[in-house]
């Protein structure tokens, strides 16, 4: 068992605590395996009535997946180890989504990428004043995976499309407003909440409600009408044109933000959300996202985006294709196409 995930039981609750503070608890393959194994064990343990998912010390709940590892795979083993990571990470996402016992995720701090993937499938999702939620993948040539297509496409008002394309960060109040969190608690109340849940796992809803406070105003609510208008289309070119035809400061800022993102993965994300919205089985969504991940991992934009944003920190990625017009429907079709039968994603 890796020390990067602390797994124990308190009272009638299983407790998974991410423990990789120097990396803001970003997920490794070993961490995914450790969490899956613990969940499988507790599924058959009658003494465990609920599961608490949180992080040990530090600012992050979970900042994402192991990006350096994925880039290394893309550059050095043709994406083989990266695909293995995605495959098993997505199994964990699906395991949480279909888990029979209630899971309470405490999104106290940075909750991005892989952190979204392990918190959103949980029945209870607790935000605090420290929560910073985002799916920033288009900025590094990836796409909002780990079930992002499913969750973002179901927010309504095109908020999900806005988050997927721009990588905008939401605070805890905004997460509650958008339905990405079920409760908003002050961080100082979390220890009490966890202790009470461990003692009374059949009263989770009541305990969280009793400790909830009224959050500050959700800033994104003020822009909801603009988002619904400008991000209405599933065509990326239409969205860009809509923002360009608006001379407001807000539209200019969002247009500039999109100018830094990978055109390929912005188009992938729009198609991903449109397809996800039609699905009624989360496993089908994960199968689709694994197909996309298998292809996008080894396309030029991912290694280049990670270089520019994370490794060299120059912020000057050279995207290929360089323009939205250069991303053809044929390229998108090839990214979404089924894999050979023996390579398709399967649930645990």
Active site residues: 65, 114, 137, 145
Closest among 48, 37, 42 to 2, alpha carbons compared: 37
Q: How many residues does the chain have?
A: 348
* Strand bridging mode 103-107 / 50-55: parallel
Closest among 29, 35, 111, 108 to 70, alpha carbons compared: 29
| Contact status, residue 168 vs residue 250, Cβ threshold 8 Å | no
Closest among 341, 293, 315, 342 to 73, alpha carbons compared: 293
The DSSP letter of residue 121 is T
Helices (H), the chain: 29-43, 67-76, 80-97, 114-119, 148-153, 159-166, 172-178, 190-199, 204-211, 224-230, 236-244, 249-258, 263-276, 282-296, 300-306, 329-336
d(CA 303, CA 194): 40
DSSP characters over 17-68: EE--GGGTT-B-HHHHHHHHHHHHHHHT-TT--EEEEEE-SSSEEE--B-HH
The DSSP letter of residue 125 is E
d(CA 43, CA 47): 10
Backbone angles phi, psi at 7, to 5 degrees: -130, 120
Contacts of 13 (CB under 8 A, 6+ apart): 48, 49, 50, 51, 52, 194, 197, 198, 201
């Amino acid at each position: 068992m890796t020390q990067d995930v602390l797994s124990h039981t308190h009272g009638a609750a299983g407790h998974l605590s991410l423990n990789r503070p120097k990396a803001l608890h970003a997920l490794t393959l070993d961490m995914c395996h450790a969490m899956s194994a613990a969940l499988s064990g507790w599924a058959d343990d009658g003494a465990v009535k609920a599961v608490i998912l949180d992080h040990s010390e530090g600012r992050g709940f979970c900042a994402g997946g192991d990006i350096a590892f994925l880039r290394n795979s893309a550059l050095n083993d043709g994406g083989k180890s990266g695909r293995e990571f995605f495959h098993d990470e997505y199994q964990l996402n699906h395991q949480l989504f279909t888990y029979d016992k209630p899971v309470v995720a405490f999104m106290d701090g940075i909750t991005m990428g892989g952190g979204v993937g392990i918190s959103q499938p949980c029945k209870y999702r607790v935000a605090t004043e420290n929560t910073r939620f985002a799916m920033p993948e288009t900025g590094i040539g990836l796409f909002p995976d780990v079930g992002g297509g499913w969750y973002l496409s179901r927010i309504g008002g095109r908020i999900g499309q806005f988050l997927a394309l721009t990588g905008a960060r939401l605070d805890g109040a905004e997460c509650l407003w958008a339905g990405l969190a079920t409760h908003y608690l002050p961080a100082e109340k979390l220890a009490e909440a966890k202790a009470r849940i461990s003692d009374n796992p059949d009263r989770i809803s009541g305990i969280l409600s009793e400790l909830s406070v009224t959050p500050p105003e959700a800033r994104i609510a003020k822009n909801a009408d603009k988002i619904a208008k400008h991000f209405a289309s599933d065509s990326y070119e239409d969205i860009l044109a809509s923002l360009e035809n608006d001379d407001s400061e807000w539209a200019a800022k969002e247009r500039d933000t999109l100018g830094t993102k990978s055109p390929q993965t912005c188009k992938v994300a729009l198609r991903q959300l449109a397809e996800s919205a039609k699905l009624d089985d989360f496993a089908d969504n994960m199968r689709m996202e694994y197909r996309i991940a298998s292809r996008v991992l080894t396309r030029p934009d991912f290694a280049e985006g990670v270089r520019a944003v994370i490794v060299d920190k120059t912020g000057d990625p050279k995207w290929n294709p360089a323009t939205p017009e250069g991303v053809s429907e044929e390229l998108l079709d090839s990214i979404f196409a089924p894999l050979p039968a023996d390579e398709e994603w399967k649930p645990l």
